[in-house]
Amino acid sequence: MGLARKAYAAFAVVFLGTGAVSGVVFGQADQTSKHLAQYRAVTSLLLTQVASMRANFFAYDDQVNMYVAVMLDAQANRGGSAEGLDSETLAQAKAARAALHADLAAARDLVRSARHPGGLPTALAAIDRSLTQFDGFADRTVQLAAARDLHAAVRVVTRDNLEASNALMASLDAARDAATATATNELADLDERQARVRLLAVASAVVATLLTAVLALGTRLGLLAPLADLRRRVLAIGDGTAAEHTRLPESGDEELASVARAFNTMLDSLRARDTEISAAQADREAQLSATFEHQRAAEQFVRLRAQSIIDDTAASVLTELSTLAEHVDAVRHAAGAIESRVAATDAVTQGVVTDTRAADQDVAALGNSLREVASMATLIGSVAEQTKLLALNATIEAARAGAAGHGFSVVATEVKSLAITAASSTERITTTLAALETDAGRVGKAITTVGTNIATLDVATADLTQVAAEQFEAVGHLDQALATAIARVHDMGTLTERLERRAAERHAVTGTATLDINGRQAHARLLDISATGVRCALDDATGRTLTMTPGTPVRATLTIGAETLHIGGCIARTTARDEPSELGIHFTELTQENQARLRRITGL
């Protein structure tokens, strides 16, 4: 039987065994669920019905007693009306009686469907007999009360029906105990079923675990052990340590035998391919060496040609930068001259502003003086008018005096003439003062306009000063940038020397390297090697996790063909690309033995 058929058979046995045990567990659980549903539908309702019967009996008995009490109260009031309480109490008693009978009928129906009724049928029969007897006493009490024989009704309620009431209470207690016992029996049955389900579940888990363990053990012995052996042999081939005994035995199950034959065929093909690859690799190394020499000669020619072009370009750029430096100096001197002239202009402007403010104050004082003179002229005009009136009065009085007043008349005439002259002069003075005040206002406005214009000129001067300062700063930045550019152009003269980093000839080589960088291992593939260093390509995994900077110490184990070298060095450069990262290592600890082996490897 093949390995696949064995696995199919084992899985079928595990599946059927687990399915059978699970079916039994599910069947028992289903029966338990049905039993629990029946318990909830019958037993719990029985307990509810018994409790309801007790409550309805108490209401029935209380309402009959209340009916008799109402009737007694009405009789005590000597024929007074009970105001409908008798009929209401009697109706409530009848309702409680009907509910009690309904609960009894429902309890009988539930007992018929109960799995373990116990003493419930007997208790319900006793309740039926006691209830019938109690109903008879109740009916008799109602009849006696309706016939107004209240004393007889009280006797029946308090003494005659006592035995029937006690018997009914005892029957209800017995029914309650029977219902509780039934519920207890049902719960015990449910617990027993639940225990069986748990036991079956544990048995199912044990059976499934055993079957799975057997299947896992069979799989490990029949499949995983041969596969582990195959994995070890494949890893040996990958590490290059495979020997003749790595071939697999072509026996056993059909699948494993076919895998062994395929593995042995692959091993033969790989060995043949290794031989071809070794020969091709030797040819490739020879071609790479020749190509490398040709490429290096071409690179040196290109570098020399590039340096020649760079030198010519740098000379022309330096000439232009020198001319630009002269222009920068001229701009710096012009900016200095502008700044000094702006400072002088600012000083003159400040003086003019001060003089303008003083002139404005003088014009204001002149206006005040003119207004005072105008008030004095007005006063003189008023005096002249009064003088004319006095001269007129004097003339009139002189005329009245006749010849005696002739001299006084001459004086009055002269006074009048003088007053007229004074009034005329006052008018001319007032007109002149008004013209002067108008001219003074115009002069004040002109001075104010001049002050405003000078303030605007002051702002413009300040802006020009700021522009001059910014121009100085820009010239400083330009001068610094120009110095940096000149330094870089001078530095271009050593470009070829800096590009030519290799102090020794490098040769393409095929091999591997194991690097110890800061205590962490990294694997790499060799690209080329020289007497002073090596260039290699790191694996993707290690290249992304290691932190490498120039100058970091490195312990390198180089494997080139049959040669293995242990050399100490430091990282010279790193190059991160889309492909694996390249790493340049400079040898710092190179023994004479390693130097001889490197010369043998490189052919120098």
Q: Using one digit for the tens of pLDDT, what is the confidence trace for 8-51?
A: 666 677 667 677 767 766 676 666 666 566 666 567 777 788 88
pLDDT at residue 3 greater than cutoff 60: no
In terms of phi and psi (left: phi > 0; alpha: psi -120 to 50; beta: otherwise), the region of 573 is beta
Q: Where in the chain is the domain with CATH 2.40.10.220?
A: 501-602
Q: What percent of the chain is predicted at pLDDT more than 90?
A: 3
Question: Which of these ranges, 41-50, 196-205, 485-494, has the smallest mean pLDDT?
Answer: 485-494
Average pLDDT over residues 283-308: 69
The CATH number of 3-212 is 1.20.120.30
Q: How do residues 258-268 score in pLDDT, each as one tens digit?
A: 776 776 787 77
Tell me how far apart the alpha carbons of residues 18 and 527 are, in angstroms, rounded to a whole number: 61
Element of type H or E holding 143: helix 120-146
**What is the predicted pLDDT for the residue at 316?**
72
381 contact partners, CB below 8 Å, separation of at least 6: 422, 423, 426, 427, 430
Q: pLDDT class for 102, splitting at 50, 70, 90?
A: very high
Comparing 469 with 52, the larger pLDDT belongs to 52
For the chain, helix (H) and strand (E) counts, in that order, are 12, 7
Total residues belonging to the chain? 604
Tell me how far apart the alpha carbons of residues 52 and 98 are, in angstroms, rounded to a whole number: 12
Is the full-model pTM beyond 0.75? no
Based on the number of CB atoms within 10 Å of its own CB, is 310 exposed (0-12), middle (13-18) or buried (19 or more)? middle
CATH class of 501-602: mainly beta
420 contact partners, CB below 8 Å, separation of at least 6: 384, 388
310 and 493 Cβ atoms separated by less than 8 Å: yes
Tell me how far apart the alpha carbons of residues 551 and 574 are, in angstroms, rounded to a whole number: 11
Mean pLDDT of the chain: 75
Average pLDDT over residues 482-491: 71
Average pLDDT over residues 359-373: 75
Question: Which of these ranges, 53-67, 439-453, 523-537, has the smallest mean pLDDT?
Answer: 439-453
Comparing 356 with 64, the larger pLDDT belongs to 64
Q: Where in the chain is the domain with CATH 1.20.120.30?
A: 3-212
349 and 458 Cβ atoms separated by less than 8 Å: yes
Tell me how far apart the alpha carbons of residues 181 and 172 are, in angstroms, rounded to a whole number: 14
Comparing 463 with 579, the larger pLDDT belongs to 463
CA dihedral 313, 314, 320, 324 (to 10 degrees): 150
- Kindly indicate whether the domain formed by 287-492 is annotated with CATH number 1.25.40.10: no
Average pLDDT over residues 493-519: 70
What spatial distance separates the first Cα and last Cα of the chain, rounded to whole Å?
Answer: 66
Comparing 237 with 210, the larger pLDDT belongs to 210
Q: How do residues 543-563 score in pLDDT, each as one tens digit?
A: 666 777 888 899 999 998 888
**What is the predicted pLDDT for the residue at 569?**
92
pLDDT at residue 448 greater than cutoff 70: yes
| 58, 84, 110, 378 from 91: Cα distances, Å | 15, 11, 29, 126
CA dihedral 354, 355, 361, 367 (to 10 degrees): -160
Q: Where in the chain is the domain with CATH 1.10.287.950?
A: 287-492
Tell me how far apart the alpha carbons of residues 125 and 514 are, in angstroms, rounded to a whole number: 100
Query: 76 is written with which tokens?
Result: 């005590």
Query: 487 is written with which tokens?
Result: 């330094």
- How is 511-544 classified by DSSP, letter by letter? -EEEEEETTEEEEEEEEEE-SSEEEEEE-HHHHH
pLDDT at residue 244 greater than cutoff 60: no
Burial 213-247 (b: 16+ CB within 10 A, else e): eeeeeebeebbeebeeeeeebeeeeeeeebeeeee
**What is the predicted pLDDT for the residue at 443?**
74
Closest CA to 66 of 98, 94, 90: 90
Q: pLDDT class for 570, splitting at 50, 70, 90?
A: very high
pLDDT at residue 501 greater than cutoff 50: no
506 and 530 Cβ atoms separated by less than 8 Å: yes
Q: How many CA atoms lie within 13 A of 145 on its CB side?
A: 27
**What is the predicted pLDDT for the residue at 95?**
92
Q: How do residues 167-193 score in pLDDT, each as one tens digit?
A: 888 888 888 887 787 777 767 777 777
**What is the predicted pLDDT for the residue at 2?**
55
Tell me how far apart the alpha carbons of residues 522 and 528 are, in angstroms, rounded to a whole number: 18
pLDDT at residue 69 greater than cutoff 60: yes
261 and 250 Cβ atoms separated by less than 8 Å: yes
Tell me how far apart the alpha carbons of residues 97 and 87 are, in angstroms, rounded to a whole number: 15
